[in-house]
């Protein structure tokens, strides 16, 4: 009888641990990357004009147009493997709440051309000499 009680207790603790971790995940939808602009931890998307792509803080994925469609990837395309995310300007999309920021791509592309920078951006993981000037 005692082993059954211990098994039941172990099962209850396991379930409680799983439920707690699920709650923690839903309360912390995503952490900005070290190269992300400082001061915007509650913003979901950045537009990266130099590479014409978006970054989703919630999923930690890049969104870019490839093979005729918009798709999410964990990294930028190979042609941007040497692109410095710390130095590239990030447009913070603080006024967008949907799930498909690329529906405004032509507006973003027009307003924020490649090479665009508005002001000095400090990054979350700022390192001397790496901030955008």
pLDDT band at 90 (very low <50, low <70, confident <90, very high): very high
| Angle, CA of 71, 74 and 78, to the nearest 5° | 85
Let me know: does 105 contact 51? Beta carbons within 8 Å. no
Look up the pTM and report it. Answer: 0.72
- For residue 6, pLDDT beyond 80: no
Can you tell me which residue has the tokens 């529906």?
Answer: 103
pLDDT band at 127 (very low <50, low <70, confident <90, very high): low
pLDDT of residue 85: 96
Give every CB contact of residue 107 below 8 A, 6+ residues apart in sequence: none
Mean pLDDT of the region 63-74:
96
Can you tell me which residue has the tokens 């014409």?
Answer: 52
d(CA 113, CA 105): 11
């Amino acid at each position: 009888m005692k082993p059954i009680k211990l098994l039941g207790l172990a099962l209850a603790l396991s379930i409680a641990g799983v439920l707690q971790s699920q709650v923690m995940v839903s309360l912390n939808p995503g952490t900005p990357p070290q190269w992300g602009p400082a001061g915007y931890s509650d913003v979901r998307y950045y537009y990266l004009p130099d590479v014409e792509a978006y970054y989703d803080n919630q999923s930690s994925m890049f969104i870019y147009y490839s093979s005729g469609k918009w798709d999410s990837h964990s990294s930028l395309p190979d042609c941007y493997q040497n692109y410095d995310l710390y130095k590239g300007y990030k447009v913070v999309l603080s006024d967008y709440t949907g799930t498909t920021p690329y529906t405004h791509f032509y507006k973003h592309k027009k307003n924020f051309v490649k090479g665009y920078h508005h002001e000095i951006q400090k990054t979350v993981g700022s390192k001397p000499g790496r901030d955008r000037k």
